[in-house]
């Protein structure tokens, strides 16, 4: 028999999806930036050039593109081909087309249940089990299963709110653009760690990461429906929100360095290698 708290956890997921679906028409009212419905495919005449820096330029480029430019690609390829997950643009200098609302929702839904996301759930649950932290289910094997389930619900709701809903409403690009090994390690670390605070708009300008803040706040608020009672006070929800932002920062750091690690371990070839 399903307990009341477990039933509430399922209800909160349904509520998240319902809110997402209800807000899509509002988000879709924005002028579409790309007509191609396939996530990550460059639309004709529009491109985002990602130079060797945290910033990047937005330009209209069909007939004015310089074929001698290092960033010019006459036959653009899907930008997610070698990414650890759909929201990572791996190679510096890679051309990434702007995302439509459809792109954001489709990629966000896929990422919510991806292997990369599931790894984050296990890491979060393992740390909470090791430290006997919130949510306070105890320290036995059953507690780990409860923490893992809670981490999955929390991570999924955070992702749906941030990447699907609020990224569309605030016109922000939910993808992470890797700075790359051409920069010092510390600079890359600071860049990755500050992405929960700073992101890009759909038009390529730097902006506070309203989508991530709002999404993690909404996901944290939902924990009152499935966390133990002692973890549902305002101060505890605020701690959950802070932990979610910290987890997001760690995720961006992983995005920044994971490809380098895979190449060093000979599990992935460098760009351009056969």
16-58 per-position pLDDT tens digit: 444 444 444 444 444 343 333 333 333 333 334 333 333 333 3
* Cβ atoms 38, 256 nearer than 8 A: no
pLDDT digits (tens, 9 = 90+) for 137-163: 998 889 999 999 999 999 999 999 999
Angle at 104 between CA 102 and CA 109, to 5 degrees: 95
pLDDT of residue 21: 46
Does residue 61 have a pLDDT over 80? Answer: no
pTM score of the predicted model: 0.69
For residue 190, the model assigns a pLDDT of 96
The confidence score (pLDDT) of residue 4 equals 52
Three-state DSSP class for residue 161 = helix
With cut-offs at 50, 70 and 90, classify the pLDDT of residue 186. Answer: very high
Question: Is pLDDT above 50 for 63?
Answer: no
Q: Read off the pLDDT of each residue in 114-137 and give the average, rounded to a whole number.
A: 91
Query: Does the pLDDT at position 180 exceed 50?
Result: yes
- Backbone phi and psi for residue 241, each to the nearest 5 degrees, phi listed first: -60, -45
- Cα separation, 172 vs 188, in Å, equals 22
pLDDT-based confidence at residue 217 (cuts at 50, 70, 90): very high
% of the chain surpassing 90 pLDDT: 46
pLDDT value at 3 more than 60: no
Residue 117's CB is within 10 A of a number of other CB atoms, namely 19
Q: Is 99 helix (H, G, I), strand (E, B) or coil?
A: coil
Contacts of 126 (CB under 8 A, 6+ apart): 144
Number of residues that make up the chain: 274
- CA distances 160 to 76, 91, 105, 207, 246, Å, are 28, 26, 8, 20, 18
* Confidence check: pLDDT of 254 > 70: yes
DSSP conformation letters of 235-247: HHHHHHHHHHHHH
pLDDT single digits (tens) 79-95: 444 445 567 877 666 66
Mean pLDDT for the chain?
74
């Amino acid at each position: 028999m399903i307990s009341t708290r477990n039933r509430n956890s399922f209800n909160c997921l349904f509520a998240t999806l319902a809110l997402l679906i209800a807000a899509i028409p509002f988000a879709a009212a924005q002028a579409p930036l790309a007509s191609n419905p396939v996530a990550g495919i460059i639309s004709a005449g529009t491109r985002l050039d990602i130079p060797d820096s945290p910033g990047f330029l937005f330009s209209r480029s069909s007939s004015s593109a310089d074929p001698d430019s290092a960033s010019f690609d006459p036959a653009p390829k899907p930008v997610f081909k070698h990414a650890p997950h759909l929201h990572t643009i791996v190679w510096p200098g890679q051309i990434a087309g702007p995302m439509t609302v459809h792109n954001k929702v489709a990629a966000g839904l896929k990422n919510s249940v991806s292997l990369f996301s599931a790894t984050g759930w296990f890491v979060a649950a393992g740390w909470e089990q090791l430290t006997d932290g919130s949510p306070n289910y105890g320290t036995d094997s059953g507690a780990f299963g409860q923490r893992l389930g809670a981490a999955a619900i929390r991570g999924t709701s955070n992702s749906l709110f941030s990447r699907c809903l609020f990224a569309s409403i605030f016109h922000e690009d939910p993808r992470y653009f890797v700075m790359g090994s051409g920069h010092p390690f510390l600079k890359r670390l600071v860049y990755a760690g500050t992405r929960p605070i700073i992101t890009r708009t759909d038009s390529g300008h730097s902006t506070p990461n309203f989508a991530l803040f709002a999404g993690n706040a909404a996901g944290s608020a939902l924990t009152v429906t499935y966390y133990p009672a002692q973890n549902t006070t305002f101060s505890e929800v605020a701690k959950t929100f802070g932990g979610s932002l910290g987890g997001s920062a760690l995720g961006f750091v992983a995005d920044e360095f994971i490809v380098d690690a895979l190449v060093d371990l000979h599990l992935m070839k460098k760009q351009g290698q056969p």
